[in-house]
Structure 1
Amino acid sequence: MNIENIEAFVYVIHYGSFNKAADVLFLSQPSVTARIQSLERELDCKLFDRMGKQLHLTEQGRRYLPYAQQMLQIYQKSKQQMHPNKALPNELRIGCTVSVSNYMIPEILPGLKALYPDINFKLSTGVTDDIVCKLLNKEIDVGFVRNISHPNIESVKFYVDPIRLYVYEGHPFIGDPSVSIEAIAHQPLVFFECGALDWMKIHRVFEKLEQPPNIQFQVDNSETARKLILRKAGIGFLPGLSVRHEVQTNKLFEIDIPEITGTALQTNIITLHGEHSALLEQFQQLYEREKLTL
């Protein structure tokens, strides 16, 4: 029996839909559907019923669920027993930046909890320098920070979040394929920056203009910037993860600006050299299914 099919079944139940399970597993929705159908053929029964947009377990599905969860846990534990030096701790202490805490950790932890129900998670937020200090002092096991380099730390790229210009519903830039930097500079701007070098690239886009950009709100928190733009206080440049839901629900709209193509925020996972290396593998396996790049 294919363990990936069992995994898809457990995740669909845990997240309540094929689409959400596909997002977490970094598969397409048809791939998750195919895995469920394959499992149903192996079991010779139907596991789900659809009623409109609602998804319900069949009686056979309810009976099978505890066995599926147990098989998935046994599989993970068997992998750990084969490599005991890679075993995860009973409590996983995670340090991360505020943006990771807001937009990424809620996507990751439920999946890890589903795979490792015996692990407790302890989360703390802070700026990159503070998280690095906590790691060096062994106050946390793993950190999510901006790209750094340190001789005692193993740092691996986790994801790259493109920075784009976003405008609110009804804004005249929507549908305009040739929005200029000059036109953007005249608009009321909500300017969020976190001190990373990539934000300097945004500043440099406006340097050649005769007049400085019309920055009416300058904030250091992406949530504040997002809410100001939603309230039509201005338009602004934001990391894609911070506005993913608003873009999907057509509350905010991305405007293509060639001058900032390639501008992005990189987040790395960090651990001490020689310690908790398995944590890097676990997070990457969860978040890089199908080699997905954000």
Structure 2
Amino acid sequence: MNIENIEAFIYVIHYGSFNKAAEVLFLSQPSVTARIQSLERELDCRMFDRIGKQISLTDDGKKFLPYAQELLQTFQKSKIQLKQKRTLPNELRVGCTVSVSNYVIPTIIPKMKYKYPDVNYKLSTAVSEDIVNKVLNRELDLGFVRNISHPNLLSAKAYEDPIRLYVYKDHPFIGNKTVSIDDIGEYPLVFFECGSLDWMRIHRLFASMSRPPNIEFQTDNLETAKKLVLQGVGIAFLPSLCVAQEVKENKLFPIEFPQTAGISLQTNMIALNGENAIFFNSALDLCKGIAQTIRDHI
């Protein structure tokens, strides 16, 4: 069956005229008429009743219409898919910080692969500044970084991860509504340091305490900090996303202080201006689910 004949049939119905359909299809009116006649011969039935300049669908035409619409839509979708496949790269190179690599990428990449099955994914981990430079040098296609901006980069907030104090099971802070920020000084502290401006706010918080914190462990690795708290050797300020599962399982517990409200880590997605927009927008949409996960656990 000739798809052009079906297209002519749909356009004649839509515009109610052979002449108008011919104009929109950039064809002559006799060409449209010939396509309809070819379709009628193929289906061995008449599609239209013609009374003067007026046309109307026959009963057979009405029966065929939904099938014709479905056939044309399927054909048009296939053209879009094939065109998209030709324009998509074989490989998408994604750079991310360690925390994104641990807690975000395992959720996002399988969904990206499902959406773009013919694309392979190369993932690398680095600090934000290195990722920015590699995106600028076209060594990476997408990057997940801290809140960094650059005039040559498309940048958008992927999600915001609140920093809170987390304690282990049976810690005295749990359920105690009279806990103050100064009480932190009475317990060993595991301090995770990532060097961002948000962590500087935690440092300033320590400066305002009447008793300095007892920092017995310092690490630049989130998983190490979390596992030390799980072992009960100390308490720690941690981003909510990295402990979502442990909070759900009642292994770690958040402690609220007014002084820590609004302290969070912002992660942005970046790409070179004018490039990889389709992947940028898809990944950004998927990050909405990550943001919802964070909201569910705070």
Structure 2 length-normalised TM: 0.69
CA distance in 1, matches of 2:76, 2:262: 40
Show CA shifts across 1:60-101 (max 9, x none): xxxxxxxxxxxxxx999766568x599542211000001100
1:14-49 deviation per Cα after TM superposition (whole angstroms, max 9, x unaligned)? xxxxxxxxxxxxxxxxxxxxxxxxxxxxxxxxxxxx
Other-structure match for 1:206:
206
Q: CA 1:75/1:160 → structure 2, altered by over 3 Å: closer, same or farther?
A: farther
Equivalence map 1:131-210=2 (5 Å): 131-210=131-210
Q: CA RMSD in A?
A: 2.5
Match of 1:124 in 2: 124
Amino acid at match of 2:273: H
Name the counterpart of 2:250. Answer: 250
Contact kept, 8 Å, 2:191 with 2:236, in 1: the verdict is yes
Distance 1:75 1:238, change over 3 A: farther
Encode CA deviations 1:226-248: one digit per residue, 9 max, x unaligned: 01101111000000111111111
SS in structure 2 of the partner of residue 206 of structure 1 = helix
Higher relative contact order (CA closer than 8 Å, sequence separation 6+): 1
Q: Any conservation in 1 of the 2:189–2:215 contact (CA below 8 Å)?
A: yes
Q: Write the mapping of 1:249-268 to structure 2, written as runs, cut at 5 A.
A: 249-268=249-268
**Residue 204 of structure 1, CA deviation:** 1.4
Give how far 1:149 is off: 1.3
Unmatched segments (≥5 aa) in structure 2: 1-74
* Number of residues of Structure 1 aligned to a counterpart in Structure 2: 220
Which amino acid is 2:256 matched to?
D
Kept in 1, the 8 Å contact 2:190–2:217? The answer is: yes
- Structure 1, unmatched stretches of 5+, are 1-73
Task: Please list the CA deviations of residues 152-209 of structure 1 after superposition, one character each: whole Å capped at 9, or x if unmatched.
Answer: 1111110001101100011111111231111112211001020111111112122123
Asked if 1 retains the 8 angstrom alpha-carbon contact of 2:269 and 2:284, the reply is no
SS in 2 for 1:226: helix
1:285 equivalenced with 2:297 (yes/no):
no
Distance 1:79 1:293, change over 3 A: farther
Q: Spell out the pairing of 1:91-110 with structure 2 (5 A cutoff).
A: 91-110=91-110
Q: Identity rate of aligned residues, in percent?
A: 56
Please report how far the alpha carbon of residue 218 of structure 1 lies from its aligned counterpart in structure 2 after TM superposition.
1.1
CA contact (8 A) 1:157 1:267 kept: yes
- The alpha-carbon deviation at position 107 of structure 1 amounts to 0.8
**TM-fit CA distance, 1:289:** 5.8
Q: Give the Cα–Cα distance (whole angstroms) in 1 for the partners of residues 249 and 164 of structure 2.
A: 17
TM-score, structure 1 as length reference: 0.69
